[in-house]
């Protein structure tokens, strides 16, 4: 059984609630324990997971957040750098599921976040568990 950290960015709390529900349901269904921490936004997710990894308490990690395109270049920075940071952690050997939605508008985010629709929170949790299982093969 894995002990999983869910790191969630609360910038869009109402959307993240759906992602979090999907991730928790997926982990519970698979019989794994989990804890949740909260950070302000998607850019803080890789750092939070990296800090938590130093504790040795977790076997896998799920990053949840929502980045909605705005009128400035900030969207590209947040979307790209949060994904790059999570990928770096994965390449360093952590089992990380990336559940950061990068969307054009709130309607797209709702479809992707809702566990009854695309369930991207659940997908991220299942990805983290798949990497955890793979890591245990080697």
Residue 126: pLDDT above 90? yes
Catalytic, 34? Answer no
- The three-class DSSP label of residue 101 is strand
Supply the range of the domain harboring residue 56.
3-137
Report the alpha-carbon distance of residue 41 to residue 28 in Å, rounded.
Answer: 25
Helix (H) or strand (E) holding 66: strand 60-68
Q: What percent of the chain has pLDDT over 90?
A: 93
- Contact at 8 Å (CB) between 90 and 34? no
Residue 17: pLDDT above 90? yes
Least-confidence region, from 15-29, 31-45, 65-79, 114-128: 65-79
Mean per-residue pLDDT over the chain, rounded: 96
Say what the pLDDT of residue 91 is.
97
Q: pLDDT grade, residue 107 (50/70/90)?
A: very high
Q: Which of 14, 32, 34, 74 is catalytic?
A: 74
* Nearest alpha carbon to residue 75 among 111, 113, 42, 120: 42
Q: List Cβ neighbours of 16 (8 Å cut-off, separation of 6 or more).
A: 8, 9, 10, 64, 65, 66, 113
Binding residues for 5-amino-6-(D-ribitylamino)uracil: 11, 42-44, 66-68, 98
pLDDT in tens, 73-87: 889 999 999 999 999
How many domains are contained in the chain?
1
Residue 123's CATH number: 3.40.50.960
pTM over 0.85: yes
Say what the pLDDT of residue 70 is.
85
Binding residues: 11, 42-44, 66-68, 71-72, 98, 112
């Amino acid at each position: 059984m894995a002990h999983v950290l869910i790191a969630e960015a609360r910038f869009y709390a109402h959307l993240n609630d759906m992602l979090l529900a999907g991730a928790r349901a997926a982990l519970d269904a698979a019989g794994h324990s989990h804890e949740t921490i909260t950070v302000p936004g998607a850019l803080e997710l890789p750092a939070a997971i990296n800090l938590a990894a130093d504790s040795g308490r977790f076997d896998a990690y799920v990053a949840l957040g929502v980045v909605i395109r705005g009128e400035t270049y900030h969207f590209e920075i947040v979307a790209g750098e949060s994904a790059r940071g999570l990928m770096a952690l994965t390449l360093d050997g952590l089992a990380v599921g990336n559940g950061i939605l990068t969307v054009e508008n709130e309607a797209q985010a709702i479809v992707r976040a809702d566990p009854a629709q695309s369930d991207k929170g659940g997908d991220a949790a299942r990805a983290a568990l798949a990497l955890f299982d793979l890591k245990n093969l080697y």
